[in-house]
Amino acid sequence: MPNDVTFTTTPLAMAELSGEAFPVEARVPGAVGEGFDLRQWYSAFRDSLMESPGEHHFETPTHLTVRAADEFQATIPWNQLSGSLLQYAIEGQPLSKGYPIRLYVPDGTSACLNVKSVTTLRFIADAALGDEAIYGFLNEIAPSQLSKGLKSR
């Protein structure tokens, strides 16, 4: 997907576009709720964009970067996402913990096997990012915050 293209959607719209929701427990033993396959959703999403007016070019992603509401960010190689899913509901209701969506990577090789409160998905085509997942908290501080000084308790 072109890196400069941004789209906004909802978890329910994503689930509907994926074409198939299933119990999260089917891939993550002991987990409850409903989810959909990340890569299947991406294919349907890409195909829907290809059908829209305008010229579109989509390279196969090499990585997915997810960003969570708590500033956690993970960049995961695409080849580790074959069994991944996005959880969007529990008993048909939007997530209360982990809202708006939660990423599960049951077959991944990193500690970011469960990223809650995902707010951003970015599909990247850049093999230079390597074969290992990169993850951690960003803890971004705006320059305006620095000029006012930091307070701690």
> Any idea what the Cα angle at residue 48 is, between residues 96 and 28, rounded to 5°?
40
Domain count, the chain: 1
Residue among 129, 130, 149 nearest 141 (CA) = 149
And the tokens for 2?
């072109």
In a domain, 54, yes or no: yes
In a domain, 153, yes or no: no
In a domain, 144, yes or no: no
Q: How many CB atoms lie within 10 A of CB 150?
A: 7
In a domain, 106, yes or no: yes
In a domain, 135, yes or no: yes
Question: What are the pLDDT tens digits along the chain (153 aa)?
Answer: 444 667 899 999 999 999 999 999 999 999 999 999 999 999 999 988 887 766 667 789 999 999 999 999 999 999 999 999 999 999 999 999 899 999 999 877 765 589 999 999 999 999 999 999 989 888 766 666 666 665 554
3 state SS of 97: coil
In a domain, 18, yes or no: yes
> pTM for the complete prediction?
0.84
Residue-range definition of the domain harbouring residue 26? 11-139
Calculate the alpha carbon distances from 8 to 15, 114, 133, 142, 143 in Å.
14, 22, 25, 24, 27
In a domain, 146, yes or no: no
Residue among 22, 48, 49 nearest 104 (CA) = 22
